[in-house]
Amino acid sequence: MITVDALHTRRATIEDFVGRGGHVVMTVNKNQSTMYGELKALPWKDIEENSTVDRIRGRRVRLTIKAAEVPAGVAGFPNIGQVVQIRRPRTIKGRRALSRSI
């Protein structure tokens, strides 16, 4: 099992790891526009979420996680079985900032 950031979310890299019998957790950002678009288009509003709220260094942080199985071959990656969306809006001095990962 390996975890790769968006820089290594490339078809050749993932196929090499999976071909060796491994499993991969990868980050998808907007630089992978086809895959990002397909994953963003999933029915996220219909997917059950798990959410927590915490205060960290004077910030109010809500962490929301949703997970779903996806059809094989999303954006040309035949080995994807599950996708997770992580949303992390923070409130700092009354201003809200949103961080989202797929």
Q: Which tens digit of pLDDT belongs to each residue from 34-60?
A: 888 888 888 899 999 999 888 877 777
CB 50 within 8 A of CB 59: no
CB 63 within 8 A of CB 88: yes
pLDDT: which is higher, 51 or 76:
51
CB 27 within 8 A of CB 9: yes
Q: What is the pTM assigned to this prediction? A: 0.72
Q: Is 89 exposed, middle or buried (0-12, 13-18, 19+ CB in 10 A)?
A: middle
Parallel/antiparallel/unpaired status of strands 24-26 and 2-4? parallel
